[in-house]
A and B are shown apart, each in its own frame.
Chain A
């Protein structure tokens, strides 16, 4: 099944994005903890796109596409902002956490969460309009 959610680039919309995801993820066989973690990863990716990519400009739009199959949950987030994660930030270590504490950083933890939770994470641009795509995939474990 595929589901779509389109919203203005506003931080206030993050709650609605989470509700949209949580509602549909309940249809899967995943535990409520797994569902919560996927919602968290997508929330982090959307927050990055809204805040860093689109400067919370609510005239711009963000689209979330959710695909659920028996084997996986795939989410694609589309926007036309200018956020692309720093590749070095993707290689996380405990040192980064210590640096965050020492430098009083409030950001940078979201990417770590995304990578901890999701099985596949990819950022790329698509088409002439250079639409940003953040692709997140979680495999569904079968018992």
Chain B
């Protein structure tokens, strides 16, 4: 898995490529932890190149959700393929996280 990071206009954009599973979740955890430490609380997660996600990957976002919300921050996900979206759906997380189709829509929500 690879994560490209760009911080621009108060939004940290993470573009994930590959598989976010039990093996790579630690890398994602480090990235989110650093964002929090650096006071970057608005996170755009671009999933258009994310092939696969398991509960370990989702667990990273769940575990930081409250911390970010307490700082008026949040995660917005975009560009998910059908399989990745179905994992959110199975766990009921599509009702908890902001999930939109395009990066443009995600930016709009984050800059409100």
Contact = CB atoms under 8 A, between A and B. Distances in A.
Interface of A: 11-12, 14-15, 18, 32-33, 36-37, 40, 43-44, 47, 50-51, 94, 97, 100-102, 104-110, 112-113, 116-117
A44 B21 CA distance: 9
B58 interface: yes
A63 to B, nearest CB: 18
B63 A104 contact: yes
Contacts of A33: 82-83, 86
Contact of A102 (B21, B23, B64, B66): B66
Contacts of A102: 66
B55 interface: yes
Given A36-B83, A105-B62, A105-B63, A110 B23 contact: no
Interface residues of B, number: 28
Interface of A is mostly: helix
B55 A12 contact: no
18 contacts: A14-B21, A18-B19, A40-B87, A43-B21, A47-B21, A47-B22, A100-B59, A100-B62, A101-B62, A104-B62, A104-B64, A105-B59, A106-B56, A107-B55, A107-B59, A112-B91, A113-B90, A116-B90
